Amino acid sequence: MSYLETNVSLMILRCDAYLRQNGFEETLTDYPQLLDAVAGDDKEALKEWALQEKSGPKYTDEQAARYFYLLDLLGEGSVIRSVVDLALASFYYAEFDEYLMKYFGSRVCLKLAFLLEGQKFPDEREVMGYTYPLVTIFKLSMLGAPVLFQEIKMDDRIVSFLSGSDLPIGRIDTYCELFQHDDSLHDAYINQKLIDKGAAFLGNGGKALQLSGAGGRRFIAKHIAKRIETDFVFIDLMDITGKGIEHFEHIKNELVREALFQSAGICIYGITDGITGNDNEYKLEILERDILLNIIKWGIPLIICSDTKRPLITRLENKECLILELPETISFDERKKVWEGFSVLYGLDIDPNEAAMRYRLSASEVMNMIRGLGSIEMTDVKDKNTALSKLSLSTTGLAKSLELGRIIYSGTLLDDVKLKPELKCIIENIIDSAKVDYRVFDEWGLKDNYRYGCAVSALLCGPPGTGKTMSANAIAGELGIPLYQVNLSNVVDKYVGETEKNLERVFAFAEKANVVLFFDEADSLFGKRSEVKDSQDKYANNEISYLLQRIEAYSGIVVMATNIKGNIDPAFMRRIRYVAHFDNPDSEMRRQIWESLITDRIPHEDIDVEYLAEQFDDFTGSIIKTVFLNACSLAAASGEKLAMKHLLRTIKMELSKGNSFSFTIDTLGKYSHLI
């Protein structure tokens, strides 16, 4: 017989002996399971049991060691031991409940234990001394019947623990992760000082450590656990509750019990701003009083991972609770270390300098991106850049912010845009700056002199259809990152302060997601400030002032396009690094545009490109593309090859719009006979 089985057998005999003393004979006769239990007693088992009883802390039997550890948690004493043995007997033998009800009139409870021990029933104050550990270990309800009379039942987890198992069972297994301090864990590439401070604090008797901020908190907690050589049970508050802290009540005792059984600490994460906001004071009270202090009361080391920096434990002395704040952003050098470390760890060929420049992410976000990248098959560098851009949106959750604009994965390159040499040179400079600014600002140290205004900012100004939008797409295409085209109709709001809030979301999104931030028709947003004549003027000027400050603090790539440069506030011009003036294309550029459209894939007859370029000198690149597309549709619908007649018909349609050009038959020149 095992140590536990011997305890159960002796408890059954004790109950029988008590009843015999009170005039009952042969009480076990009608209960064959119980008779078998006591019949199984043998001298060797009793001898081993007695030996364990005398061993004290040096138990040679694991069941005995765990049994007495449980008694320590419950408060020791003969009454508690009787409670445990009674509950074990009830767990092992279904007949035992019937036996107790028949002869004692109750199932396993404190009252029965006091009766067997021959002690008088305690008063309410004494009962409360038993309550706290019984509620935690046996999940008694404080809202049910008086604790003295509540049924006390063993469950599978308690018995499996006593039997030698360390595997969690039930809900706690579903929601928790047990991190053992000897588990493998890759190096901490950054935040080493935070780990040192946290480990020193808990290792020297600190009770609760709060890790505030975002980015790698659980990873830091695991390194602290390794450092202090303590296992930790990790649990996500929102994952387990779904709705909030108040629902955590159903499982908090199982959590504490599991940590006690594992001799582990507890790390609670998922404590979001939605829980700790100013309008949730009652939730914070529940969190501190019913959960955090409950854990600390048991002497369990506690780590709290929260978004907020406000103290979540206010009822302890400062020396008992420490708050460590993770930096809001990590430096270029730190990002480089993270990319370098994870790339080596996962065996991926990624340039850490370029990745650190492109993506302003936390360490955990970088790890998620690299894991995702490892599962994607790529054929070239462009594929890798596109994959990283998409992963940056999914792993950071930023895709939810797209209602203020749209993401464009541009396939346009600079050679696809027909520009004058001097204009093309400016666009190339913009692209080159975006590629090397990490070196200029971080490696060369210019960020010390340019604490603000580190953005690669460009203003593209010129008439409609001259290539501004296409050039913005080419900048994104050459850099291999998405274009985030802001929808100004969704940004500008008639209500006071809402425009600034929307703009803040736009800039925050762009900084995090590594996109080319593109404001088309920017003069509607970056226009000149006016004299304040009414409240609307004042609020409009406030919006512009906010934009000035936000662009100064921005550290990404922002491209603005406007049809009329003179509409832009001069204060913006001082903050813009590059200004590119787009004009209507000259004859040579128009010829290049026409030629670029007439590819071998399009069945066509001879096209007089020189005539088209010279004859229609007011055509912009946008108009040429529209005319060409319509002509192709016309030819395809007729089942013919593209010919001059199709082009001239769609040119006539374009000129007849009456917007910018007037049309007469002479406008078509030598090919007018085709119409």
Convert the pLDDT of each residue in 411-437 to its tens digit.
899 999 989 999 999 999 999 988 877
Query: In the chain, pLDDT over 70 holds for what percent of residues?
Result: 85
Give the three-class secondary structure for 579: strand
- For residues 635 and 643, the answer to whether their CB atoms sit within 8 Å is yes
C-alpha closest to that of 263 among 232, 294, 303, 225: 232
d(CA 365, CA 125) in angstroms, rounded, equals: 53
C-alpha closest to that of 613 among 415, 418, 474, 467: 418
Over residues 380-407, the mean pLDDT reads 71
Over residues 499-515, the mean pLDDT reads 83
Is 473 buried (19+), middle (13-18) or exposed (0-12) by CB count in 10 A?
buried
Place 241 in a pLDDT band, splitting at 50, 70 and 90. low
pLDDT score recorded for residue 76: 73
Place 186 in a pLDDT band, splitting at 50, 70 and 90. very high
Considering the entire predicted model, what is its pTM? 0.74
Is 346 buried (19+), middle (13-18) or exposed (0-12) by CB count in 10 A?
middle
Give per-residue pLDDT as tens, 357-379: 777 788 888 888 888 887 776 55
pLDDT score recorded for residue 534: 41
C-alpha closest to that of 5 among 33, 43, 45: 45
